[in-house]
Amino acid sequence: MSALNLPQTRFSRWVDALVERVGRAISWLWITLLGTIALNVFMRYALGEGRIEFEELQWHLYATGFMLGLGYALKEDAHVRVDVLHERFSPTLKAWTELYGLLLLLAPFIALMLIYAVPFIADSFAAGEVSPSPGGLTHRWIIKSVLFVGMALLGLAAAARLTRVWKFLFFGKDGAG
């Protein structure tokens, strides 16, 4: 698949650098997740003692890695699309498709997720929500906050991508003039 070569903007350089740092930092979370899984399996099968907090921690680590990695996937253009069609498009048609996809599909989705995440997190914090499982993790609002942070990072990455597409379409393919 030929990637769309978009010009950079000052905003996109700043956001892409931020998202890159977060993505690289979060990539280490997968090692932690693997270690947690291995420890949990060892404890369950070798020692005969399963721990619910390790099982919940696995899900929290996975959710954190996934949510905080969404912006990085968009920045790297590694997100899902219908490649069988996209690969046949001209660069200009790819850019128009990207523009409308960002504005009409991704932006409203992110906005709704951010709007509804705030009361979701606030209610959890106010209630002092904990896991319903005996021995489960406490402070559920922390993992729920990852939803907001992940969507905010995705929103920044989408805005940066939008500035790049805009520059490509309206200021020439090299971004000049």
How far is the first Cα of the chain from the last one, in angstroms, to the nearest whole number? 29
Tell me, yes or no, whether 17 lies in a domain: yes
Question: Is residue 118 assigned to a domain?
Answer: yes
Instruction: Check whether 1 has a pLDDT greater than 50.
Output: no
Query: 140-170 and 10-27 are packed helices; what angle lies between their axes, rounded to 10 degrees?
Result: 140
* Domain-embedded: residue 5: no
CA–CA separation, 137 vs 134, rounded Å? 9
Query: CB burial class (10 A; 0-12, 13-18, 19+) of residue 37?
Result: middle
Question: How many Cβ atoms are within 10 Å of 42's Cβ, its own excluded?
Answer: 11
d(CA 109, CA 114): 9
pLDDT band, very low/low/confident/very high, at 176 (cuts 50, 70, 90)? low
Residue type, 97: T
pLDDT tens per residue across span 136-172: 888 999 999 999 999 999 999 999 999 999 999 998 7
Taking only the tens place, the pLDDT of each residue in 4-27 is: 789 999 999 999 999 999 999 999
Whole-angstrom Cα distance, residue 90 to residue 121? 43
User: CA 114, CA 118: separation in Å to the nearest integer?
Assistant: 7
Domain count, the chain: 1
Let me know if residue 158 belongs to a domain: yes
pLDDT, residue 87, reads 79
pLDDT band per the 50, 70, 90 thresholds, residue 82: low
| Residue 165 located in a structural domain | yes
| Domain-embedded: residue 3 | no
pLDDT at position 177: 44
Q: Is residue 175 part of a domain?
A: no
The whole domain housing 114 covers 10-170
Q: Is residue 137 part of a domain?
A: yes
Query: Could you tell me which of 17, 13, 65 has the C-alpha nearest to residue 37?
Result: 65
